[in-house]
Amino acid sequence: MKIIVIGPRGKMGRLITMAAASRDDMELVAGVGPRGRSYIGQDLGIAAMTGSELGVPVTDDLKSVIDNCDVIVDFSTKEMAMEVLDLAIAHKKALVCGTTGFGPEEIQRFQDASKKIPMLYAANTSKLVNVMNKLLELVTSTLKDEIDIEILEMHDQWKKDAPSGTSKEMGEIMAHALGKELSDIAVYGREGAAPREPGTIGYHSLRAGNIPSSHTVFFGGMGERLEITHHSYNWECFARGACDCAAFLADKEPGFYTIRDVLNL
């Protein structure tokens, strides 16, 4: 299958380029960067710092190369993602989007797009994170109001959104297991006289140095607690997962897919 990587110089874009280049079932046909970047016009392998040339270009014009691909993989920015989505719809191309920080209206645009193209949105493409999500659903649906739920997520100092998209997804999974909406029960940080309100999900975001992605969910009972944690040592697991998502979309009809579909969870 033929792949276009959006934002090939970014933290995820570079690793996705390397992961896709190493696979026998994928062919990179272009990289697309934001307008005005110094690496526009370079070979994709050079721009993504893979250590060798890949024989395909980096452009700032997705429209000029989009018809050469089967799937677009986008882990760029909110603003760029919306442009990519519109072009994917117009050219009927499958899209994997792992960009985070979207609001409800923007997420709805991805869901609407799934009526026309194969659309896979994944806030986190790690296999282990998604197995963790399954465990969170099990614990919450089993214990319900017997427990208090708190989420601590840690990322590097450059992380733009807080809480992280992954922790929001975790919260939504647990809220739905409680028969509620996350927007109705989420509490973000505490200060001063702030006793815990039963039935809420607490969020705490830490940003420092180059801490890799880390998520811990605390289930607090009386006299005991359960902690479920995922640590990523680097971003390669997310890049491999993103390529698995792209491969999954290869023969799919239009629809809204998630990484749970990829992993049969």
- Supply 259's token pair: 């990484």
Rounded to an integer, what distance in angstroms lies between the CA atom of residue 34 and that of residue 32? 7
| 155 catalytic per annotation | yes
User: What confidence tens digit (pLDDT) does each residue in 74-115 have?
Assistant: 999 988 999 999 999 999 999 999 998 888 899 999 999 999
Which residue among 93, 159, 168, 230 is the active-site one? 159
- Position 210 scores a pLDDT of 92
| CATH placement of domain 2-125+236-263 | 3.40.50.720
Which residue among 93, 155, 215, 230 is the active-site one? 155
Domain with CATH 3.40.50.720 in the chain: 2-125+236-263
Residue (of 13, 55, 3, 54) closest to 34 by Cα position:
13
Query: Rounded to two decimals, what is the model's pTM?
Result: 0.82
Average pLDDT score, the chain: 95
Do 104 and 37 touch, CB atoms closer than 8 A? Answer: no
Phi-psi region of 238 (alpha: psi -120 to 50; beta: other; left: phi over 0): alpha
- Supply 8's token pair: 């090939």
Q: Which residues of 59-85 are buried (b: 16+ CB within 10 A; e: fewer)?
A: beebeebbeebbbbbbbbbeebbebbb
| 159 catalytic per annotation | yes
Domain with CATH 3.30.360.10 in the chain: 127-231
Do 176 and 124 touch, CB atoms closer than 8 A? Answer: no
Rounded to an integer, what distance in angstroms lies between the CA atom of residue 158 and that of residue 150? 23
User: Is 127-231 CATH 3.20.20.450?
Assistant: no
User: What confidence tens digit (pLDDT) does each residue in 129-180 have?
Assistant: 999 999 999 999 999 999 999 999 999 999 988 999 899 999 999 999 999 9
> For residue 73, what are the β-bridge partners?
5, 96
